[in-house]
Every structure is written in structure tokens, then in C-alpha cells.
Structure 1
Amino acid sequence: MIILGLSAFYHDSAAALVRDGRIVAAAQEERFTRKKHDAGYPKNAIAFCLKEAGIALGDVDHVAFYDKPFLKFERLLETYLAFAPRGFTSFRMAIPLWLREKLFQKSLLKDQLKEVEKDFDWEKKLLFAEHHLSHAASAFFPSPFEDALVLTMDGVGEWATTSVGTGRGNSLQMEREIHFPHSLGLLYSAFTYYTGFKVNSGEYKLMGLAPYGDPVYRDLILDNLVDLKPDGSFRLNLDYFDYCTGLRMTNAKFDALFGHAYRSPEGQLDQRHMDLAASIQAVLEEIVLRLGRSLAAETGMRNLCLAGGVALNCVANGKLLRDGAFDRIWIQPASGDAGGALGAALAGYHMHAGQARRLNGGMDAMAGSYLGPHYDTAEIQERLSAAGARFTTLDDDALVAATADALADEKAVGWFQGRMEFGPRALGGRSIIADPRSPSMQKTLNLKVKYRESFRPFAPSVLREDVADWFELDDDSPYMLLVADVVERRRRQMTAEESALFGIDKLNVPRSDIPAVTHVDYSARIQTVHRETNPRYHALITAFKERTGCPVLVNTSFNVRGEPIVCTPEDAFRCFMGSEIELLAVGNCVLRKEDQDPALKLDYTSAFELD
């Protein structure tokens, strides 16, 4: 049985294909269109999934969509009626779009599918899953657990913003929900907006900014904005928010509470913004911890699966794991809306069709999340030659050796290998990598390679067998979704003057033997690298360890700020020529910057809309 899952029309459109319960392919539309968070119909992602499976659309048994548009429209209408006459302006703007497009998504999907396969029987083949069920299915069904509690947290689906379910075998039962407008995701997004970052993409910046501040507003938030119960359930005080009726996330009363207006995008960051970030991060962590503890105590279940946009908050995930309420936690690497496409496909296979679920011998079913396009050597050579690139083709051992030598020489390397990752994190398939021991590397990568804010941290890729020797974690973290501290003996003692620094002044003080991946609070967003899922990346880090004694690399996504992660060899070459990456490894082809035609150099500093 073959099921194609789709998410589209809001943000992060994607397609995923499941054959007989196995995940064959999955990709976001943005990677093909080069438009970040592309919300359009994912025709390119669909075409890729079908090609990867070697089938036509007519061979698909079902197409499963990740949410139910009519229920979303019901929520829109009921919200505006509840707040009327407030919000008429936003209502007047939203309704024509809904009446023209979103309300009739079934018809839109039918028309798009019939363009590819004119005899597509959409009445029998098209399925719709509720938004939070899609998230929950994406978390439980690929997990390594026979049974687990499933917690889903995001902005909002149809009505649900937080939901709890129980997965056993091939069944998934959704049991309770918190409904809009009370939303942990929207609360965090309100502070994202207020501190000057873009909603639905800047939340990870807020999380990265938090360690520079102190949570001085934590009690103010809990006293005024959130009614938090001991079990983690909550209600928001809507007097301070404008997202129900207006075109902003927050309002003048919110401004008055914190004593200043919201920061304009690209405006100056000061200590207040860092303290706000630290405060809302502390509140989010408290809510997640209370939810986890109460659910574990109530159900007695020892395994937890997480999905939804809030599950990308790896700091909260790490604290939940260390809290010990659950023995094991598994997080869907594509936790946002893109992952809803995979969840819809898996829900269609296991729940609609009633097909059995087969566990994968202790590992999860995501294949390291390497589910996107890949290119063989001949195709890479052809594409790079057409782009004007000058390269050398090496055998496997020589490729790893040359790259490890460049890394040990503190060069920034573009690493384009195997299948592209599904989800927002680069995991050694489409990555920029570097030496974590360099005190200047974090600043260099941010300002000269990524063209982004200097405060943003980088993640370490570490051999799974060595993780506990460097970090306070001895568990799998293959998807860069858990944060843990660098172990004490790898840390550098701060001087009294350094310890007294505040805010962004903390940035350039080395804190450990691997300063490029050690955040200002000694934490790191860890990716454990496994020989079973990415043998070439594992071999590279092993070779780097042999040269330096360090089994860790800096790993950041292969793109510049505002650009989707690179998808094709041509994308990789353009980014290489538009940034200060010094070496590029595309499959077995190695490109050195000094060998390239200077006429092909690009200016990527303002090539993409800021994220």
C-alpha cells in the first residue's frame, strides 16, 4: 500500500511518501522553489517523492492531507463572532482569501492532482486528518517505542493548540486538548514578534538569545499573561494579545506591561530584549515540565513522543529529559507543519487502512531523516561542470582525508552528501562544517559565511560513542533536538572580569575546549552522529578526531540567512561562490575557492529576504 501525505497552504508545505509502512521519501517545497517557508501547493516535493518511489500518481492508494480546512474556517468565524465588533479589519482581509481559496481546499487539491493524473479518483483516494493527529502520528509511528504518550504543542491547528494522545502498536488515540486562543506556541510567538523577530521563523532566534539575559520578567508573565495550573494546563489573558482580532501579535497593554514598544526588525538589541527572551524561555520550560510530570504521574507511561512547533525548542526538550519523568523521549525531526505531511501519510496507513506497525530493532524509522533528493557522481559532475565549477573527483578515502585536513586547518567547508534532510535541521547531508576548537569560528561563520546575527549559536556534531565524554548527555540525539551542557572538565574557568560581563559582551569569551559550539551558558544543541544512518559523516568526524583528538565538528545548515537549505549541486555551488566557504565537497567532487573563476563570485549578503 502506498500513501502520499501533503501539508500546504499555511507555511512549510511538504510531501511525504509511505510504502507498506516504510518512509520512502519526504521533502519541503521550499528546497525546490528556493522560497523559505514556501506555503504553496507542494508540486515539486510531490514529483520528487513519486520519482524516488519509482511510481506515478495513479499508483498511489491514498493522498492524505494534514488538516481539515472546514474546522479551521469554523474557528475563524467563531473567533471573530466572539470578539465582534473588534477585529473587523482583519476579518475583512481574511474572509475573501478563505472564500476564494482556503475553504475549498478539497477542490483545489483535486484540481492539482488531476493535472498530474487526469483519472485520479479523488473522491475515494483523498483523506483528511486533523492537524494535531497528523503531528502526533508523525511522532509516534516512526518512534522506536511499542507504546508511548504523545504530546503535541504548537500555535494552533483547527482548534487544538496542545494535545495528548496514547500510542500502542498501530493505534493512536487522541485523548485531550487545550484549545485556541490559549496557546503555548502563540505565547512564545508573541514574544518573538515583540522582540523584533519574524513569527513562524524567528522563534529559534529567541531561544538562542535567551542565555544572554536573565529571566527578570518571569513572574510578571506568570502573574499577568498566563494562568498556569500545577498540572501544566494554562489559559492566556487575552487582554494583552491582538492575534485573535488584529494584525499584530501584541497590543498597547502588552507594551505598557513591559515598559516599551516592540523592537522593529533589525533594530538594536539591548539587555531588555535578552531578558525578555530569557523570561519567556523560562516560562515555556516551566509549562512543558509541569505537563510532562503530571502526564507521567497520571498515566505511568515511561516513553514520550513530541511533535508540533514547540517541540523544536531543544532547550526545553533537554530539560524535560533530564527531569526524569520519562525514561526515554523521541522527537520528530520535522516537528513543524512540514512533518504533518508525514504524519498524515502514516495515519492513513496505520489508522485508516488498519495496517500493522513494525518496529525497527531499537532504532527509529526516520533513517536519520535523510529522506530527500540525492545525486550520483556522474550527475554531480555534469551539473557542476554546467555551472562553471572547477573540481577534482576523489575516491571515498581521499575525500574524507582532504576534508578532514581542511577542517583541521580551520577552513569552513560546505558538505553536500547523500540524501537531503527532512526538517529544519542540517544533519550532515547539507551542512556547513568547521573546527569547533577555534575561538573565532562562531563569529566568523555568523558574519562571513551565514551573514546573520552574531549572537546565534552553532551546534556540535559528535560521534555517538564519544558524546558522554564531551557533554552531559549519554543518549541518542540524532536530530539536534536536545540541549545539554559541556562536561565540567572540558570547560574553561572564567576570570572575574569575564564573569561580570552582561548581554552580548559575553559572546567572544571562550568557554570550553570547543568554544565555537559552546553557548554562553555552557550549553550546546547536540547532534549525535551514527555510523548506521550516515557512515560518510561518521567517517569524516572520525578522521578529524584522529588528527586533532576532538570527535566534534561545528555543524550549521548549508545556506545563508533567509535562504532555504541547499537542495541541488548547483545550489551548493552558488552558496559556495556567494559566501566565504573555503572548500566544498559535493559527493566525491572537491572544490577549492582559490581554483574557481572569479567572475562567478556572487554577492549573497542581501540575496534573500531576511528571516
Structure 2
Amino acid sequence: MKILGLSALYHDSAAVLLDDGRIVAAAQEERFTRVKHDAAFPCHAVRYCLEEGGVGLDELDHVVFYDKPFLKFERLLETYLAFAPRGFRSFATAMPVWLKEKLFQRKLLEDELKGLGATGSWEERLLFAEHHQSHAASAFYPSPFDEAVVLTMDGVGEWATTSVAIGRGRELEMVKEIHFPHSLGLLYSAFTYYTGFKVNSGEYKVMGLAPYGEPRYVDLILEHLIDLKEDGSFRLDLRYFDYCTGLTMTNRRFDQLFGGCPPRRADEPLTPFHMDMAASVQAVTEEAVLRLTRGLAEEYAIPNLCLAGGVALNCVANGKVLRDGRFREIWVQPAAGDAGGALGAALAAYHQHREQPRTVDRGARDAMNGSYLGPAFAQREIEARLRAAGAVFEVLEEGGLERRCAELLAEEQVVGWFQGRMEFGPRALGGRSILGDPRSPRMQSQLNLKIKYRESFRPFAPSVLAERVSGWFELEGASPYMLMVAEVAEGRRRPVEEEGLSGIDKLQAVRSEIPAVTHVDHSARIQTVHADTNPRYHALIRAFETITGCPVLINTSFNVRGEPIVATPEDAFRCFMGTGMDYLAIGDCLLAKEAQNPALLRDYRTAFEPD
């Protein structure tokens, strides 16, 4: 049975192909169009998935969309009626779009599929899942658990903003929900907006900024903005927010609550006030998630927890839930945001609608294949594409590339690493990565300012050999998807003299043997690298360990600020030639910057709109 899952028309459009319940291919549309968070119908991602699976559209048993447009439209109308006449501008802005295309989404989807070559009737084959059902299915069905509590937290689906499901075998039962406009995701997005970052894009910047500040406003938030109960249920005081009736997230009452400061413009400097705001909303979010998970652990007495939805990408909160110990095992969907909804919709159709059995592979960590589910390129094709782009490269024999790149990294060279299948989800996991030496005190700022062209405070993640993780970090077990934060091991830390340092200046202090991946609070967003899912990346880090004694590399996504992660050798070469990267490894090909034609150098600083 072949099923195509789709997410589209809001943000992070994606397509996923299942064959008898097995994930064959998955990709986000942004990687092909080079438009960050592309919301368009994912025609390029669909073509890739079908090609990877060797199947045509007319051979599919079902195409499944990740939410139900009529329920979303119902929410829009009911929200307007509840707040009328306030919010007319917002309503008038949204209505033409809904009446033109979103309200008639079945026809729109059918037309798009026909445009890709589909024929025949879609009356029985085109299905729609609910938004949180899609998220929950994406978290439970690929997980390694026969039974689990499934917690989904995001901005909003149709009505649900937080939901709980219980998964057993192929069954997945939704048992409770919190509804719009009360939303933990929208609370976090309100602070994202207020601190000057883009909503639905910059939330992770708020998380990265939080350790530079102090959570001074936690009590104020809990007293005025969110009524948080002991079991984690909550309600927001909507008098402080504008997302129901306006075109912004917060209003003047919100500003007045925090001293009258207006929202920061993107071009204005970050101040200690903004850092304190980030620290405060992060602390409140962590407390809310902990209360939710503690309540669920007590209520259901199930030892396993699955997480999905945009809030599940808050890896700091995830790490605290793990260390809290109320659940024995935690599994987070690596594509926890809306892109992962395409996967969940397909899995829900397979297991729930078509009632197909589910088996858990006891020998695997999960069914995501390391999340390496995107396109790959054969060596011959890589060489042809690089030549056509004007690249100069050498081809190394088997094993030689890993040894040479390890030597370069040990010399503090920055290496672009393009290998195997592209990752599905927002994290680069050693398929499309930029790598550096974590032991270098200067590497963090060098990567941010000269290669990523982004804010200096942004932290970098360590990739560590799975078998070495406990020797370097306070983490037992696996974190293959970079969705858990833990502290650097006590024995790897260094005494820090921070007198006179505050805010961003804290970056100057060397906190551990691996300062480039040690955040100012000694934390790190860890990726454990496993030989069975990414043998080449594992071999590279092992070679680096042989040279340096350190089984850790800096891993950041292969892109610049505002650019989607690279998808093709041409994308990688352009990014390489537009940034301060020293070397590029694609397949068995190694490119040195100094060997390239200077005429091909590009100024990448303004190539993409900042995210």
C-alpha cells in the first residue's frame, strides 16, 4: 500500500511517501525552491518522493493532507464573531485568501495533483487528517514504543493548541485538548515578536538568547499573561495579545506590563532587557511543559513519552523533561513542526483509516532511518555537476576523505560536509552540515559572523560519537536528532572568571575543553552519531578523535542566515563560494577554496532575507 502525505499552504510544506507503512522518502519544499519555510503546494517534494519510490501518482492508494481546512475556517469565523467588531482588519485580510483557495482546498489539491500528471477520480483516495492527529501520529508510529503518552504542543491546528493522545500498537486515541486562543506556542511566539524576531521562524533564537539573561519577569508573566495550573493546563489573558483580532502578536497593554518598551525592531540592538525577556518566557515554557508531563506521567502510568508540534523543538525544555525522570523513555519526532505533519497524516491513514498493523523493530532506535530521507547523489553525478558549476576538486580514495577532512578540522579549517541523503526536519545531522573544531575558542564567533552571517550569540551544536557521549556530556542514552540539551560533563569544564562580564560578553569566557559548543550556562544541544545510520559521518568523527583525542565536532546546518539547508551539489558549491568556508567535501570530492576560480566567488551576505 502506497500513501503520499502532504503538508502545505501555511508554512513548512512537505511531502512524504510510505510503502506498506515504511518511510521511503520525505522532504520539505523549501529545499528545492530555496524559499525558507516555503508554504506553497510541495510539487518539487512530491516529484522527489515519487521518483525515490519508483511510483506514479495514479499508483497511490491515498494522498493525505495534514489538517482539515473547514475546521480552520470555522475557527476563523468563530474567533471573529467572538471579538467583533474588533479584528475587522485581520478578518478582511484573511477572508479573500480563504474564499479564493483555502476554503476549496480539496479542489486545489486535486488540481495540483492533476498538474503533476494524475488522472482519474480522487473522491475516495484523497483524505484529510486533523492537525494534531497528524502531529501525534508522526510522533508515536515511528517511535520505538508499543505504548506511549503522546503530547503535542504548537501554536494552533484547527482548534487544538495542546493535545494528549495514548498510543497502543496501531491505535492512537486523542484523550484531551486545550483549544485556541490559549496556546503555549503562541505565548512563545508573542515573545519572539516582542524581542524582534520573526514569528514561526525565530523562536529558536529566543531559546538561544535566554541563557544570556536572567528570568526576572517570570512572576509577572505568571501573574498577568498565563494562568498555569499544577497539572499544566493553562489559560492566557487575551487582553495582552493581539493575534486574535490584529495583525501583530502583542499590544500596548503588553508593552506597558514590561515598562512601556515597544517591540524591538529587527535592526535595533539586543539589550539586557531583551535577554531577560527571553530567559523569562523560556523559564515559563519549561515550567509549563514540566507540569504537563508530570501530570500525564501520574495520570496514565505509562513509562514512555512521545513529543511533537513546534514546542517540541524546544530542546532545552525536552532536556529538562528527560532529566526530570517521570518518564523512563522520551522520543521526539525530528520533524516536529508542520513538515512532520505530512508524515503523520500518511501514517494515520495507514494505521487508523486502513487499519494496517504496526510492528516495532526491536533492533532499531526508531523507524526514521536517522531522518536521512531526502535526495542523495551518486559519485558520477556529483562530479558532473561540480564540473558544470566550474568547481575544481580532487577525488579521494575510499576512507581518504574522512582522514583528510579530520586533519583539516584539527587545523581549525571549516569544512562543508555534503554526504548521503538529505535530512528531513529543521536540523542538519551530518548529511548537509558545516563542521568545525569544538576545541577552538574562536570557532563559535568565526562560524557565526564569517560563515553563517548571523547573530553572534547563536550557539552551535556538538556531534559526538554515540559510544562516547557520557564521557563528555551529562547525558545517558541517545540524542540522534539534536533535540535534547544537557550540560557538558563536570570533568570537561574549566574554571570561569566572569567578573565584569554580562550579556553577550559572556561569550568571551572559555568554559570547557570544547568551548565552541559550550553555551554560557554550560549546556549543549547534543547530537549522538551512530555508525548504523550515518557510517561516513561516524567515521569522520572517529578519525578526528584519533588525531585529537576529542570525539566531538561542531555541527551546524549547511546554509547561511535566512537560507534553507542546501539540497544539491550546486547549492553547496554556491554557499561554499559565498562564505568563509575553507573546504567542501561532497561524496568523494574535496574542494579547497584557494583552488577555485576567484571569478566564482560570491557575496552571500545579502543573498537571502534574514530569518
8 Å CA contact retained: 1:417, 1:429 = yes
Question: How far, CA to CA, are the matches of 1:553 and 1:536 in structure 2?
Answer: 14
Shift of 1:305: 0.2
Partner of 2:366: 364
Moved more, 354-363 or 258-267: 354-363
Partner of 2:450: 448
Partner of 2:490: 488
Q: Does 1:512 align with 2:550?
A: no
Partner of 1:276: 277
8 Å CA contact retained: 1:113, 1:120 = no
Partner of 1:295: 296
Partner of 1:336: 337
Q: Deviations over 1:284-309 (max 9, x none)?
A: 00000000000000100110000000
Shift of 1:499: 4.4
Question: How far, CA to CA, are the matches of 2:397 and 2:382 in structure 1?
Answer: 14
Question: How far, CA to CA, are the matches of 1:533 and 1:485 in structure 2?
Answer: 25
Question: How far, CA to CA, are the matches of 2:67 and 2:302 in structure 1?
Answer: 28
Question: How far, CA to CA, are the matches of 2:253 and 2:213 in structure 1?
Answer: 23
Corresponding residue SS for 2:123? helix
Shift of 1:118: 4.1
Question: How far, CA to CA, are the matches of 1:501 and 1:222 in structure 2?
Answer: 29
8 Å CA contact retained: 2:450, 2:579 = yes
Question: How far, CA to CA, are the matches of 2:129 and 2:544 in structure 1?
Answer: 46
Moved more, 319-328 or 356-365: 356-365
Give 1:431's aligned amino acid.
S
8 Å CA contact retained: 1:389, 1:596 = yes
Shift of 1:396: 2.4
Question: How far, CA to CA, are the matches of 2:96 and 2:511 in structure 1?
Answer: 54
Question: How far, CA to CA, are the matches of 2:19 and 2:149 in structure 1?
Answer: 25
Q: Does 1:248 align with 2:248?
A: yes
Moved more, 499-508 or 471-480: 499-508
Unaligned runs of 5+ in 2: none
Partner of 2:386: 384
Shift of 1:534: 0.2
- Normalising by the residue count of structure 2, what TM-score does the alignment of the two structures yield? 0.99
Partner of 2:171: 171
Question: How far, CA to CA, are the matches of 2:525 and 2:405 in structure 1?
Answer: 23
8 Å CA contact retained: 2:43, 2:116 = no
Partner of 2:74: 74
8 Å CA contact retained: 1:3, 1:349 = yes
Correspondence for 1:468 among 462, 467, 470:
470
8 Å CA contact retained: 2:391, 2:596 = yes
Q: Deviations over 1:102-161 (max 9, x none)?
A: 111111001111122342421110010000000000000000001100000000000000
Question: How far, CA to CA, are the matches of 1:493 and 1:119 in structure 2?
Answer: 67
Give 1:68's aligned amino acid.
K
Question: How far, CA to CA, are the matches of 1:533 and 1:201 in structure 2?
Answer: 29
Partner of 1:257: 257
CA RMSD of aligned residues (A): 0.6
Superposition map of 1:139-150 within 5 A: 139-150=139-150
Q: Does 1:53 align with 2:53?
A: yes
Correspondence for 1:416 among 400, 415, 418:
418
Evaluate the alpha carbon distance shift between residue 110 and residue 403 of structure 1 in structure 2; reply closer, same or farther with a 3 A threshold: same
Partner of 2:134: 134
Corresponding residue SS for 2:444? helix
Partner of 2:479: 477
Q: Does 1:181 align with 2:172?
A: no
Question: How far, CA to CA, are the matches of 1:220 and 1:330 in structure 2?
Answer: 33
Question: How far, CA to CA, are the matches of 1:395 and 1:159 in structure 2?
Answer: 55
8 Å CA contact retained: 1:184, 1:284 = yes
Shift of 1:359: 1.0
Shift of 1:527: 0.1
Question: How far, CA to CA, are the matches of 2:120 and 2:284 in structure 1?
Answer: 49
Partner of 1:324: 325
Superposition map of 1:7-156 within 5 A: 7-156=7-156
Question: How far, CA to CA, are the matches of 2:94 and 2:365 in structure 1?
Answer: 44
Q: Deviations over 1:161-208 (max 9, x none)?
A: 000000011110011100000000000000000000000010000000
Evaluate the alpha carbon distance shift between residue 499 and residue 129 of structure 1 in structure 2; reply closer, same or farther with a 3 A threshold: farther
8 Å CA contact retained: 2:138, 2:343 = yes
Corresponding residue SS for 1:484? strand
Shift of 1:510: 1.1
Give 1:357's aligned amino acid.
R
Give 1:155's aligned amino acid.
G
Partner of 2:312: 311
Unaligned runs of 5+ in 1: none
Question: How far, CA to CA, are the matches of 2:150 and 2:494 in structure 1?
Answer: 39
Question: How far, CA to CA, are the matches of 1:250 and 1:582 in structure 2?
Answer: 43
Give 1:321's aligned amino acid.
L
Q: Deviations over 1:387-434 (max 9, x none)?
A: 000011112211111110110110010000000000000000000000
Question: How far, CA to CA, are the matches of 1:120 and 1:214 in structure 2?
Answer: 60
Corresponding residue SS for 1:123? coil
- Normalising by the residue count of structure 1, what TM-score does the alignment of the two structures yield? 0.99
8 Å CA contact retained: 1:582, 1:593 = yes
Give 1:347's aligned amino acid.
A
Q: Deviations over 1:59-80 (max 9, x none)?
A: 1100000000000000000000
Shift of 1:489: 1.0
Question: How far, CA to CA, are the matches of 2:387 and 2:522 in structure 1?
Answer: 44
Question: How far, CA to CA, are the matches of 2:120 and 2:276 in structure 1?
Answer: 54
Shift of 1:243: 0.1
8 Å CA contact retained: 1:372, 1:421 = yes
Structure 1 stretches of 4+ moved >2 Å? none
Question: How far, CA to CA, are the matches of 1:92 and 1:418 in structure 2?
Answer: 47
Question: How far, CA to CA, are the matches of 2:499 and 2:518 in structure 1?
Answer: 15
Q: Percent identity?
A: 70
Give 1:380's aligned amino acid.
I
Question: How far, CA to CA, are the matches of 1:558 and 1:174 in structure 2?
Answer: 38
Give 1:564's aligned amino acid.
P
Question: How far, CA to CA, are the matches of 2:595 and 2:361 in structure 1?
Answer: 45
Question: How far, CA to CA, are the matches of 1:118 and 1:586 in structure 2?
Answer: 35
- Number of aligned positions between the proteins: 609
Corresponding residue SS for 2:440? coil
Corresponding residue SS for 2:231? coil
